[in-house]
């Protein structure tokens, strides 16, 4: 059979992505660089880089500023295979100045330049791929991603000519009351032909109000020179920009909703979209039910037919088998649960390996941390753990063993044994009665 190449995996060798991330992010009021704040469990900048890479754009240039050390550290850890170039824009004199700085750096740029904003994180790889396709086929001077929104406040407004091409972009501060009514906004993602970009960016003048060079001014300049820039309208959720922590929260909710919808369409019941938060790389099997107030983080994996929550907290590194139950007020961290294993109430399971058909009684805790190091708790198949048990790790429980309720297990338990590790009960006959009579 002939091998069909998956167009989705095609690498775009003729595109360089430039991601603008040098801004101070003043409105975040944060010590941390704005683009490194998390949205639904992942730094904004990570989404933008991932979207480029998933769209097949491997040639990536990041524009950093005072946040260079943080950005370099983030890319070093998150993208260890390298390939991401970082330039420094010493003074943040606006988005056009940022792009000019990048273009002047000793970097080879491909013929198509894709410009993205580090604070517009929810852009989909498919959208980037489509935009590049359309650019390649139509060969306009540029394509700008735009959206129609209910509340355009703060965004650049798209002014179009009679043919629907972009005539200019007007920023919030410069917009006349009439222009402020325009609900068609600039999404902050652009595709340009490299030569046009180089030529016309140099003609951008400083904005007298903000004393910045606006990349958006290139639209008007290109239009005046007869070069066509086409708007490509996408859903607002993809181009929602984050300037402050209200928008950060809103973007997190939008991202979470998308992730939950994907799960729901794949046969997973999520009882309440408003109180369940699941990171995008989590995987969940069909017919699993996620109850309200549940948080699932990292790249955790959950099998088929499980019941998770309400009020469950599943932290990174967790792998849960099929037909398991993780109930209310249960926290699981970096642990494995075999099939048909139940942790139904009020427990902390950390750095543990639980086999299949294990029943963990209410209030069980793995004491995994000795103040210096984390230690493992290993529990074999078919083990029954009575309520209120503490496992002082490192500790191993052999398969089929039973742990008596209230035990503090500090040593290994052999297979099929009963382990009781608590003080014996003492009953003093009539003691209470005598005490009352003394009074």
By annotation, the residues acting in catalysis are: 345
Return the number of the residue (172 or 328) whose C-beta is nearest ligand UD1: 172
184 lines the binding site for ligand UD1 (CB under 6 A): no
Which parts of 11-40 interact with ligand UD1 (CB under 6 A)?
20-23, 35
What is the three-class DSSP state of 435?
helix
Residues of this chain that interact with Ca ion (CB under 5 A) are 119, 241, 243
**413 DSSP 8-state letter:** B
Alpha-carbon gap, residue 170 to 41, rounded angstroms = 33
The label of the residue with tokens 């603008």 reads 20
Return the number of the residue (206 or 404) whose C-beta is nearest ligand UD1: 206
Task: Give CA angle at 262 (258, 263), nearest 5°.
Answer: 120
**Residue from the set 51, 185, 218, 290 that interacts with ligand UD1 by CB under 6 A:** 185
Q: Are 67 and 20 in contact (CB under 8 A)?
A: no
Which parts of 207-266 interact with ligand UD1 (CB under 6 A)?
214-216, 241, 243
Return the number of the residue (93 or 289) whose C-beta is nearest ligand UD1: 93
Which parts of 283-302 interact with ligand UD1 (CB under 6 A)?
none
Task: Give CA angle at 131 (126, 136), nearest 5°.
Answer: 125
* Shortest CB 268 distance to Ca ion, Å: 34
Return the number of the residue (121 or 140) whose C-beta is nearest Ca ion: 121
Nearest to 174 by CA among 145, 136, 217, 140: 217
Give me 359's structure tokens.
């029943």
Alpha-carbon gap, residue 3 to 12, rounded angstroms = 20
361 lines the binding site for ligand UD1 (CB under 6 A): no
Binding mask 49-78 for ligand UD1 (x = CB under 6 A): --------------x---------------
Return the number of the residue (187 or 327) whose C-beta is nearest ligand UD1: 187
277 lines the binding site for ligand UD1 (CB under 6 A): no
**Residue from the set 15, 62, 119, 397 that interacts with ligand UD1 by CB under 6 A:** 119
Nearest to 210 by CA among 172, 176, 177: 172
Alpha-carbon gap, residue 275 to 386, rounded angstroms = 31
Alpha-carbon gap, residue 405 to 421, rounded angstroms = 9
46 lines the binding site for ligand UD1 (CB under 6 A): no
How many angstroms from the chain centroid is the CA of residue 51? 12
Alpha-carbon gap, residue 64 to 330, rounded angstroms = 41
Give me 238's structure tokens.
């993809």
Which parts of 138-177 interact with ligand UD1 (CB under 6 A)?
155-156, 169, 171
Residue 11 region, left (φ>0) first, then alpha (ψ -120 to 50), else beta?
Answer: beta
**Residue from the set 62, 98, 254, 409 that interacts with ligand UD1 by CB under 6 A:** 98
Return the number of the residue (119 or 238) whose C-beta is nearest Ca ion: 119
**Residue from the set 43, 46, 56, 118 that interacts with ligand UD1 by CB under 6 A:** 118
Helix (H) or strand (E) holding 197: helix 194-201
Which residues contact ligand UD1 by CB under 6 A? 20-23, 35, 63, 89, 92-95, 97-98, 117-120, 155-156, 169, 171, 185-188, 214-216, 241, 243
């Amino acid at each position: 059979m002939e091998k069909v190449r998956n167009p989705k995996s095609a690498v775009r060798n003729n595109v360089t992505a430039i991601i603008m991330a040098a801004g101070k992010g003043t409105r975040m009021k944060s010590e941390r660089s704005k683009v490194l704040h998390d949205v639904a469990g992942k730094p904004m900048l990570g989404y933008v880089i991932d979207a480029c890479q998933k769209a097949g754009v491997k040639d990536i240039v990041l524009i950093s500023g005072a946040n260079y050390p943080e950005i370099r550290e983030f890319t070093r850890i998150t993208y260890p295979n390298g390939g991401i170039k970082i330039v420094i824009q010493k003074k943040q004199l606006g988005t056009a100045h940022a792009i000019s700085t990048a273009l002047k750096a000793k970097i080879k740029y491909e013929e198509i330049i894709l410009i993205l904003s580090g604070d517009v994180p929810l852009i989909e790889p498919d959208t980037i791929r489509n935009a590049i396709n359309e650019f390649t086929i139509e060969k306009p001077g540029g394509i700008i991603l735009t959206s129609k929104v209910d509340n355009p406040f703060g965004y650049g407004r798209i002014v179009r000519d009679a043919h629907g091409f972009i005539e200019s972009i007007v920023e919030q501060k410069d917009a006349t009351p009439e222009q402020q009514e325009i609900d068609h906004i600039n999404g902050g993602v652009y595709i340009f032909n490299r030569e046009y970009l180089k030529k016309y960016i140099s003609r951008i003048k400083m904005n007298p109000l903000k004393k910045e060079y606006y990349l958006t001014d290139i639209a008007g300049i290109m239009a005046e020179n007869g070069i066509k820039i086409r708007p490509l309208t996408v859903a607002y959720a993809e181009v929602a920009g984050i300037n402050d922590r209200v928008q950060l929260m809103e973007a997190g909710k939008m991202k979470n909703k998308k992730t939950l919808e994907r799960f729901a369409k794949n046969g997973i019941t999520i009882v309440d979209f408003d109180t369940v938060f699941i990171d995008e790389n989590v995987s969940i099997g069909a017919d699993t039910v996620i109850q309200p107030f549940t948080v699932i983080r990292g790249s955790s994996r959950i099998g088929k037919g499980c019941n998770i929550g309400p009020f469950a907290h599943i932290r990174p590194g967790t792998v849960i088998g099929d037909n398991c139950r993780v109930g209310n007020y249960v926290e699981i961290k970096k642990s494995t649960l075999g099939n048909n294993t139940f942790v139904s109430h009020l427990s902390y399971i950390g750095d543990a390996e639980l086999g299949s058909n294990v029943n963990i009684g209410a209030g069980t805790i793995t004491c995994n941390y000795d103040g210096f190091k984390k230690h493992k708790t290993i529990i074999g198949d078919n083990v029954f753990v009575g309520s209120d048990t503490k496992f002082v790790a490192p500790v191993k429980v052999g398969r089929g063993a039973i742990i008596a309720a209230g035990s503090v297990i500090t040593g290994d338990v052999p297979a099929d044994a009963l382990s009781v590790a608590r003080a014996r009960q003492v009953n003093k006959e009539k003691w209470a009665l005598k005490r009352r009579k003394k009074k």
